[in-house]
Chains A and B, each alone.
Chain A
Amino acid sequence: MSSMSLREFVWKVAFHLSLAGAALTICLLIGETYVPGSVLPFLDIVNGIPILIALVCGVVITMPRDMR
């Protein structure tokens, strides 16, 4: 059975976590843009969106090329 190193595993988990978070955020933003009040009142994540986007960018930029 093939395997991967712990370091590679941690980076890829972080990558998928950030990518999924970014995709979720984009979906919610699109929903809120076209149907105002449909998303944000339930999540109250307005303040968290910039942080989430920064986190995604940070992980993607710093991830070693062979891990992406």
Chain B
Amino acid sequence: MTIPKPIATACFAVPWILAVTVVGWVLLRRFPPSGVFVATTTFTPASAFINPFLPSERVSTPGVQPDGWVGQRIVGDPTYMTARVPGPYDTVEISMEFRPVHQPLLEIGLVKDVEGKELDLGPLFFEGLASSTWHAVQGGYVLRGLDASFLRSTQLGELATWDATSSLPALHDANAAITATEVSLRGAHDVYLVPADGLIDMTFSLQDVNRSRTNGTAVFRVFRGDEELSRESIGTGGSRDRGMGAVFEHRVRVPDAIPGVYRISFQSDDDVFIRSIRTTSRRWVVGPRLNFGDLVGYATTTQAGHAWTNSRHIVAETLHREGLQRVSLGSVSAGVTRTHQSFRLDRTDAGTTPVEVYAPLGDMRLVGDGWFAFRPDAFFEPKPKRLTDATDLLTEHLQGVITPYVRPDPLEDGWYRAQKTFQLDPSQDRLRFVLSAPGVMSRVGAVDIRRVTLTYRRSPLTPRGWIRLLEQELRNAWHRL
């Protein structure tokens, strides 16, 4: 049998046509003309573009779970998921089908830099706002019967914030005598205060207890709202194994202070102590972090950590065996029995006035959802309290939440679908998403994830856009070499 050469030649061309077709198909998948690329996974089988959640000790093995559904169960906090970026895109939308199990609050974020230090974390789910009692308005959520103007209320005790800022009240007080407060606070603190007779005047007594340096530094930054008014770096001294550094003073003064809430941000490491604070302000608070230090090397007595707070939820931790003690918050208390471990105190009362927080041995780091004052008459709320996983909106008499949070779509059997969009750096090859489920382990809770979809978007391709895209791809390839 013989084959005519024209037919044979045509047959020889078929494999080459197929090869060119495959290359063209790959190019179209790699550079979709619509500018939209979608990757989705249920974690089984494995996806080339989306990896399962890690670390392994905080998640289950992806696949069929014990109760029959397919996906991955998260039992620890935080967890992260990496994704391969299929080229230069402007934004990525992550859509997740999840089911919270005894977990009232979830947040999701994207690590924005290569070093992993910049995290853009935002709301994903809050059980307290799932009820129809709350309705969405511009700027957040309010109870039925209220409108969006309530979120601008000056009754800050009835508001909470979640990943949002609020406008600060224009407060001012009459002239007051200087008051001195003996404290023992270590490290960075934020002090919020109200001007007295048009003046902000606060003097800090500081001591650097580090015995292996002589050139410690600290920074004082002064803000009115979000506007930074001043910044000053100071040397804190220290000593070369000759005992504690000498106590010295630093004064922060803002004359002609217009009404408002001012913040003095003291930034230093934990080797610098604040030993006392003198001020003309009648009202001033510290928070949300309050770190009671000890008096070792400063005094022969022990100074208890004592303050008044509107916090309803506090996390306490000590780094020293000398700090092991029972800490009380109003009528609740918790034994801090191990160092380097967080212990929660959650109020269950419905009171609205500040309560006492007491650590009899000091040496305790507290982080609350509210503010701390060292005298009950000095207490005020500079801004609404933070929404946390322990917040009970109704018990705490909250009527509004300032937040960009969008309620997820409810699906069947307790499942939800939520989306969040992030801006992308076109040079990123890999993304790292972080899922935060605070308190999930102490609550013996979990978050079930059954589907994740990433939708990458950029402008539809034009000839000029194609060229720019190729240039970006070549730049990325060059940086990888």
Which residues of A are interface residues toward B (Cβ below 8 A)? 1-6, 9, 12-13, 16-17, 19-21, 23-24, 27-28, 31, 34-44
Q: In this complex, which of B8, B11, B15 has the most chain A Cβ atoms within 10 angstroms of its Cβ?
A: B15
Q: In this complex, which of A1, A3, A5, A12 has the most chain B Cβ atoms within 10 angstroms of its Cβ?
A: A3
Give the docked Cα–Cα distance between A37 and B85 (Å): 8
CB–CB B11/A24 < 8 A: no
Interface string of B1-27 (1 = CB under 8 A from A): 111111010011101101100110010
Tally A-B pairs: CB < 8 A: 79
CB–CB B4/A1 < 8 A: yes
The interface residues of chain B, by DSSP majority, are classed as: helix
CB–CB A37/B3 < 8 A: no
Residues of B in contact, count (CB < 8 Å): 31
CB–CB A37/B86 < 8 A: yes
Apart from A24-B23, A38-B86, A41-B86, 12 more pairs, CB < 8 Å: A3-B2, A4-B5, A6-B1, A12-B8, A35-B477, A37-B48, A37-B86, A38-B30, A39-B26, A41-B48, A42-B26, A42-B29
Residues in A whose Cβ lies below 8 Å from that of B30: 38-39, 42
With contacts A16-B16, A21-B19, A37-B429 known, is A9 near B8, CB below 8 A?
yes
Give the docked Cα–Cα distance between A12 and B23 (Å): 23
Residues in A whose Cβ lies below 8 Å from that of B19: 20-21, 23-24
A66 → chain B closest CB, angstroms: 16
Q: In this complex, which of A17, A20, A28, A44 has the most chain B Cβ atoms within 10 angstroms of its Cβ?
A: A20
Residues in B whose Cβ lies below 8 Å from that of A31: 26
Give the docked Cα–Cα distance between A40 and B86 (Å): 11
Residues in B whose Cβ lies below 8 Å from that of A24: 19, 22-23
B19 → chain A closest CB, angstroms: 4
Residues in A whose Cβ lies below 8 Å from that of B3: 3-6, 9
A16, A20, A43: which contacts B26 (Cβ < 8 A)?
A: A43
CB–CB B1/A13 < 8 A: no
Query: Quick check: is B439 within 8 A (CB to CB) of the other chain?
Result: no
Query: Quick check: is B473 within 8 A (CB to CB) of the other chain?
Result: yes
Give the docked Cα–Cα distance between A27 and B26 (Å): 11
Residues in B whose Cβ lies below 8 Å from that of A37: 48, 84-86, 429
CB–CB A4/B8 < 8 A: yes
Q: Which of B415-450 contact A (CB under 8 A)?
A: 429
Residues in A whose Cβ lies below 8 Å from that of B22: 24
The 5 lowest CB-CB distance pairs between A and B, nearest first, are A41-B48, A20-B15, A3-B2, A24-B19, A20-B19
